[in-house]
Amino acid sequence: MSLTTRLTKSFGIEHPILLAPMAGISGGRLAAAVTAAGGLGLIGGGYGDLDWLQREFGLAGGANVGCGFITWSLARNPDLLDMVLDQQPATVMLSFGDLRPFADRIHAVGVPLIAQVQTLDHARQALDAGADILAAQGGEAGGHGMSVRSTFTLVPEVVDIIAARSPDTLVLAAGGVADGRGLAAALALGADGALVGTRLWATPEALVSPRAHARAIQSVGDDTFRTRVYDAVRQLDWPAEYDERAIGNSFLDIWHGNDAQLSASLPEAIETFEKAVAAEDFDAAAILVGEAVGLIREIRPAADIVRDMASGAAEILSSVQRGPGGGA
């Protein structure tokens, strides 16, 4: 069974599934694997490391992939966008900042622009900037975002805004989509597809420590929460409205919610964190995943995940259309 949506038609792909461009995680191998399976992979450009980006595009082996950036960081090194556009990416995704300084350059070379949004105001601003696709991200997503909205209600509100203002703009649901049920729900809410992070984080192609994988598959959604601790110890100057969802550990037990103490003891906390990263000790190092981690019980190849997610969603939607008696 296939799932044909405006998204699959627009990108010429088989399944309405895009890889979230997770910073430092979504490398060239993972992006290429998602594309080869019929979805669309995006390399996680993140904070903008030129050597890393060049290497990962090389590892993609010429596959049709896109790239995502943390927009406020890209603004500090805007030439990185030219390097990515020279790769003729399938799409460029911008998150957590003002799209306008980059939108014209992206559109000038005919590359579709995806804007990640967490609120309705974000959605309106992205439409004003000419975004071709909006990725509506709920607070249950992993990594950075906002806790103000959930995917289940944000997506249909964004869909309604687009229907009224810009009917040709596409919508992706982001946050909590980890299997066929989640993809079917995203499409039922009016999205044209899903942006999948945490489930594809749990793949051998992702740039993730096996120790982090082992810890994550023993976790449930209740083990995650939103925090700013890891931004502090990584010395990342994130805007105050954003935080990150991570799996709890003893390091967060000490510092989460103790901002004043963390600030006073920051050098010691940074040293502890950096030693833990080097040792792959996830009692202190970060595992930035979403609530959907509770739906993951094994590390599987990205291709298997993409295909099973699509077939599962198609089966669910087909069953709903048939009704309990098998009729229309």
Question: pLDDT of 189-235, one tens digit each?
Answer: 999 999 999 999 999 999 999 999 999 999 999 999 999 999 999 99
Phi-psi region for residue 110, left (φ > 0), alpha (ψ -120 to 50) or beta?
left
| Eight-class DSSP state of 40 | B
Query: What per-residue confidence (pLDDT) applies to 326?
Result: 45
| Residue spans of the chain under pLDDT 70 | 1, 321-328
Asked if 78 and 105 touch (Cβ cutoff 8 Å), the reply is no
Q: Which residues pair with 171 in a beta bridge?
A: 134
pLDDT at position 320:
74
Determine the pLDDT at residue 324.
56
pLDDT at 132: 98
Q: What is the value of pTM for the model shown?
A: 0.93
Query: What pLDDT, in 10s, does the model give residues 286-296?
Result: 999 999 999 99
Buried b / exposed e along 241-272 (16+ C-beta atoms within 10 A): ebbbbbbebebbebbbeeeeebeeeeeebeeb
Domains in the chain (CATH in brackets) are 6-208+299-322 (3.20.20.70), 210-279 (no CATH)
Quick one: which of 28, 2, 7 has its CA closest to 18?
7
Q: Which of 31, 23, 13 is nearest to 203 (CA)?
A: 31
**Helices and strands: H and E segment counts in the chain:** 16, 11
Backbone angles phi, psi at 23, to 5 degrees: -60, 125
Residues 6+ apart with CB under 8 A from 42: 18, 19, 20, 21, 26, 31, 65, 66, 67, 68, 91, 93
Amino acid code (one letter) for 135: A
Q: Encode pLDDT of 220-229 as tens digits.
A: 999 999 999 9
* Confidence at residue 327, expressed as pLDDT on a 0 to 100 scale: 41
